[in-house]
């Protein structure tokens, strides 16, 4: 399926320069990513796909934690993919991590990677940047192998945090076209009913972030 030109151009504009400092700055507020990676636990030889892989920071961490896993990543931003490929090569993982440009709401994994179903698929702070995020969830679920799991970490509703903090965070995120998906749980439950899957979630850091897992039957 074709890349959405407007979305790709928008992300390229945001990350053309930010990609050089992305990992250094985001580690202070993209919380819970390492917990997500620790929860993946793919079987030896299992396939792991990150949708919205950014600089490949998570894929590199997963490659180190799961040395027998096969790792894949897509991103709509060609600028971020430039950084991702550089980081993958610098870490000597270019034979273990495959990257491609793709739209989260519709991509052909067979054409991109020669893989039709993945054991684990993850969204790490990317759903809040995808305009068609519900379509992206449905697309990801369709790409899961039987018994596969969809893992998500993203911004929560911050209900346990001070009002001033919530307002400041919302204003800051809006500068980067980030919108927390406050109805994520409801959408995952809807998908579980529609597709016969199972879903569970937990809150982190006084609802700053949410971790969710959707498992395919």
Q: What is the pLDDT of residues 54-99, one digit of tens each?
A: 999 999 999 999 999 999 999 999 999 999 999 999 999 999 999 9
| Integer Cα distance of 155 and 158 in angstroms | 8
Instruction: Provide the token pair at 208.
Output: 């700053």
Q: Which residues contact 163 (CB under 8 A, 6 or more apart)?
A: none
Q: Where are the domains of the chain?
A: 5-215
Closest CA to 80 of 70, 69, 88: 88
Give the pairing of strands 209-215 and 198-204.
antiparallel
What token pair was written down for 118?
A: 């993945």
Q: What is the mean pLDDT of the chain?
A: 89
CATH numeric code, 5-215: 3.40.50.150
Q: Which of 5, 24, 30, 17 is nearest to 126 (CA)?
A: 30
pLDDT > 70? residue 13: no
59, two tokens: 């894929």
pLDDT band at 177 (very low <50, low <70, confident <90, very high): confident
State pLDDT tens for residues 102-149: 999 999 999 999 999 999 999 999 999 999 999 999 999 999 999 999
- Would the pLDDT of 210 be above 80? yes
Whole-number pLDDT of residue 21: 46
The dihedral built from the CA positions of residue 139, 143, 149 and 152, taken in this order, carries a sign that is negative
Contact yes or no for 156/170 (Cβ under 8 A): no
What DSSP element (H or E) covers 24? helix 22-26
Contacts of 139 (CB under 8 A, 6+ apart): 104, 105, 106, 107
Give the three-class secondary structure for 2. Answer: coil
């Amino acid at each position: 399926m074709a890349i959405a030109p407007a979305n790709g151009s928008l992300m390229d504009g945001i990350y053309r320069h930010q990609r050089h400092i992305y990992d250094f700055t985001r580690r202070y507020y993209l919380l819970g990513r390492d917990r997500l990676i620790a929860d993946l636990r793919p079987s030896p030889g299992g396939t792991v796909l990150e949708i919205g892989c950014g600089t490949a920071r998570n894929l590199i961490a997963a490659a180190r934690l799961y040395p027998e896993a096969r790792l894949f990543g897509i991103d709509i931003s060609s600028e971020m993919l430039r950084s991702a490929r550089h980081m993958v090569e610098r870490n000597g993982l270019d034979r273990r991590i495959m990257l491609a440009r793709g739209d989260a709401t519709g991509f052909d994994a067979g054409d991109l990677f020669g893989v039709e179903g993945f054991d684990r698929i993850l969204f790490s702070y990317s759903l809040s940047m995808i305009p068609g995020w519900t379509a992206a969830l449905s697309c990801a679920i369709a790409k899961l192998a039987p018994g596969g799991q969809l893992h998500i970490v993203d911004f929560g509703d911050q209900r346990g945090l001070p009002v001033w903090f919530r307002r400041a965070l919302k204003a800051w995120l809006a500068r980067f076209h980030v919108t927390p998906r406050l109805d994520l749980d409801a959408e995952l439950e809807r998908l579980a009913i529609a597709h016969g899957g199972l879903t569970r979630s937990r809150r982190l850091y006084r609802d700053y972030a949410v971790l969710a897992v959707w498992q395919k039957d």
